[in-house]
Structure 1
Amino acid sequence: MSTTAQAAQHAEEDRMTEATEAAPARADCVADSAGGLTFHIAGWTRPAPGSYDDWRGALVLVRRGAADSPDGEVRLPLGPTADGRLQAALPSTVALPEGRWDIHVAYGEEEPQRLAPGLNDLRSLVDRRPGPSTSPLSVRIPYATKHGNLSLRSWRRAPHAEAGEIRLEDDTMAVRGRLYRVEYPADWLAGAVVEARCRRRAVPVRTAPLEADGPDFSFTLSYSELARSWDGDRADVWDLWLRPADEAMAPARLARILDDVADKKEIFTYPPRTVAGPHGEVQAQPYYTRGNDLAVRIGPPA
C-alpha cells in the first residue's frame, strides 16, 4: 500500500474513532402489542453487516448484576434496512428474564459500546390488553438512564395481576385490576384473597376478600389492619399479592406494568393517610416499588 493510501486509511480510522467517542450510536425503539421491540440503529461508524447472517455487528443486551450468568447476555443480529440504517429485533418469544438490561452494539472482536437513546414509539404499550394465554407475559420498556444511555426494563410473569384504579379513603385503599395468564381467570379468582406480606417479618399476613367479575377484580384494604403490627420503630413495607383458594396454584404479585412507563415510583404517587397504631399515630401510603410492584408503607413520616 502506498504512503498516500496508508495516510488516507489512518485518517479514516481516526475519523471513525473520533466520531464514535464524540457521538455514540443511538437507537430508535418501536414496540409491538405482543411485547416485542425493534431497534433502529443510527450513527453506526463501522462497516455495515450485509445481512442478518453477518455477525460482525450485533446488538448486545447485558442484564445488570448477572453478566456472567448463563442468561445474563442476549445477542441479536444486526441487518440493513432500506433507509440505510441497521435493525435488530427482540420478539416477545425470546425469554428475557426479569431485570434491567443495558444495551450495547458490538463489532467483531471489539469491546461492545453502550447505545444512546433515540426516539421511542411505545404507543402500542399504552393501555395494553394482552390476549388470553397461559404463557408468561412478556413486558419490555426501553428508557434513558441518568447517564444518557439506553437500557431496558423487562418483566416476565405468569400469572400476573395488573393494578388499575386506586381510590384512597381516610382509612382504606380500594383497588381495581385484572388477572392475566391463567387458563380460567374467573375460576382462579373464585375464593381468592388479597394478601399483604410484611418484608420485615413472616407473620402476620393480612388478608382481605376479593370481588371478581370474570378476569376483573377489586378489593378494599384497611390501613389500620396493617398498622396494628407496627412496632414503633422503622417503617414496615407490605407487598400485595393475590392468593387463589387452590393452594396448588401460584399466587400473583400485584403490579402495574402494562403501559409505557418503566419506573413508576416517582410518577404514580399517592398521598399518605394518618391512622392510629399501637404506638400512636402512623402514616400509611401506597406506592409502586422500583420493580413497579404495588406495596404499602406503614411508619413514621418519610
Structure 2
Amino acid sequence: MASVPLSVDCTADSAGGLTFDIADWPAEVTPRDAALLLRRRGSDPADEVRLPLATDGAGRPRAVLPAADELPEGRWDAYLAQGEESPTRLAPGLNDLRALVDRQPAPGTSPLGVRIPYPTKYGNLSVRSWSRAPHAEAGEIVVDQAGMTVRGRLHRVADAAGWLSGALVEARCRDAAALVRTVPVEAGDGPEFRFTLDYAELAAAWEAGEDAWDLWLSPGPDGSGDPVRIARILDDVPDKKEIFTYPTRTLAAPHEAVKAGPYYTADNDLSVRVSAAG
C-alpha cells in the first residue's frame, strides 16, 4: 500500500451509525482480508473494534459501524489493518454529518450511542464516542448578572415526566466531594426540563485557585437510578470547549472578587468555573 495515509469519507446516520468509505484505494489492490480498525486511545490492553471492508456500488472499500453495535465512550483512532502488516493510520476525507445536527433520538431505554468522526491535530482520523442511559442533553444557556438558566431534554428513560418530577440539579465541586449545591428543576409532562443556578453559593465556597463545579441531574422521588451528567453531545461538534463559550460574571466572595461562568469540559459535559476576578 502507499506510504501516504489513505483518506476516509465518513457518513453519519440519525440513529448513530457510521459508514467509512476509503476514497483513494489503489485500483490494483483488492481489499480482501482488510479491515478498518478502531482502537480506543489510552486503553491497555488495547480495546479494538474491527470492521471488515466490503465494496460499495462504485467499487470503493467500505466499512460500516451499525448504530446497534456497542462502542464505549472515548476517542477511537482509525487504522487500516491488512493481512500480517502492522495497522496504519487513516486520514480524514469528507464528512457528511448532516444527520447529527439537532439530532432527536428515537424513544427507548437502551444506551444512547453518539459517534462523531473528526481530524486530530496530527491530521489523522479518529472517532469520538459516547454511550449514555439516561442522558441529559443541555440546550439553550442564558447567562444573566446573577447566574445562568439552562434548558435541557432527558433521553433514554421510560417515563421522563415521572423521572423529572421533583428532580434536582446538583453542582458538585470537583476538588471537594463534600461540597454540593442543589437547585430545583422545572419540568412539565414531557422530557424537557429547566433550571436556574445562582453563582453566589459557588462563589461563597471559593478560597483560591480555580473551582470547577460539575452539573448533574438527579431524579425525583418517582424516578429511579443514579444522577446523570448534564452534557451536550447531540450534534456534529466533537469538542465544544473552545467552540461554545459563554460570558463570565463578577461576584463578591469572602476573600476577593471572583468570576464565574459555564463551560463544556473535554468530554462535552457542562460545568461552572469559579476563579479570581483579577
Classify the TM-score, shorter chain. Answer: over 0.9
Indicate the residue corresponding to 2:7 in structure 1.
26
Indicate the residue corresponding to 1:250 in structure 2.
226
CA offset at residue 272 of structure 1? 1.1
User: Percent of counterpart pairs with the same letter?
Assistant: 61
Indicate the residue corresponding to 2:58 in structure 1.
83
How far does the alpha carbon of each residue in 1:128-154 deviate from its partner, in whole angstroms, 9 at most, with x for none?
A: 001110000000000000110000000
How far does the alpha carbon of each residue in 1:70-93 deviate from its partner, in whole angstroms, 9 at most, with x for none?
A: xx1000000012212100000111
Say if 1:285 and 1:298, in contact at 8 Å, map to a contact too.
yes
SS in 2 for 1:152: strand
Larger CA Rg, structure 1 vs 2 = 1
Q: Distance in 2 between matches of 1:176 and 1:42?
A: 41
Indicate the residue corresponding to 1:199 in structure 2.
174
Task: List gaps (5 residues or longer) in structure 1.
Answer: 1-15
Indicate the residue corresponding to 1:57 in structure 2.
34
TM-score by length of structure 1 reads 0.88
Indicate the residue corresponding to 1:122 in structure 2.
97
Indicate the residue corresponding to 1:3 in structure 2.
none
Q: Distance in 2 between matches of 1:301 and 1:129?
A: 39
2:125 aligned to 131, 139, 150, which one?
150
SS in 2 for 1:47: coil
Q: Does 1:43 align with 2:19?
A: no
Say if 1:104 and 1:112, in contact at 8 Å, map to a contact too.
yes
Q: Distance in 2 between matches of 1:210 and 1:267?
A: 27
List structure 1 runs of 4+ shifted beyond 3 angstroms.
none
Q: Distance in 1 between matches of 2:43 and 2:82?
A: 22
TM-score by length of structure 2 reads 0.96
CA offset at residue 301 of structure 1? 4.6
Structure whose residues are more often helix by fraction: 1
| Count of matched residue positions in the alignment of Structure 1 and Structure 2 | 275
Say if 2:163 and 2:224, in contact at 8 Å, map to a contact too.
no
Say if 1:58 and 1:78, in contact at 8 Å, map to a contact too.
yes
Q: Distance in 1 between matches of 2:124 and 2:45?
A: 21
Q: Does 1:97 align with 2:84?
A: no
CA offset at residue 44 of structure 1? 2.5
More divergent stretch after superposition (37-46 vs 214-223): 37-46
Indicate the residue corresponding to 2:149 in structure 1.
174
How far does the alpha carbon of each residue in 1:171-226 deviate from its partner, in whole angstroms, 9 at most, with x for none?
A: 11000010000000000000000100111111121000100021000000001111
Q: Does 1:113 align with 2:94?
A: no
Indicate the residue corresponding to 2:110 in structure 1.
135
Q: Distance in 2 between matches of 1:112 and 1:204?
A: 47
CA offset at residue 248 of structure 1? 4.6
SS in 2 for 1:237: strand
SS in 2 for 1:280: coil
Q: Distance in 2 between matches of 1:78 and 1:183?
A: 37
Say if 1:48 and 1:80, in contact at 8 Å, map to a contact too.
no
SS in 1 for 2:252: strand
Indicate the residue corresponding to 2:195 in structure 1.
219
CA offset at residue 245 of structure 1? 2.3
Task: List gaps (5 residues or longer) in structure 2.
Answer: none
Q: Distance in 2 between matches of 1:210 and 1:292?
A: 21
CA offset at residue 42 of structure 1? 2.0
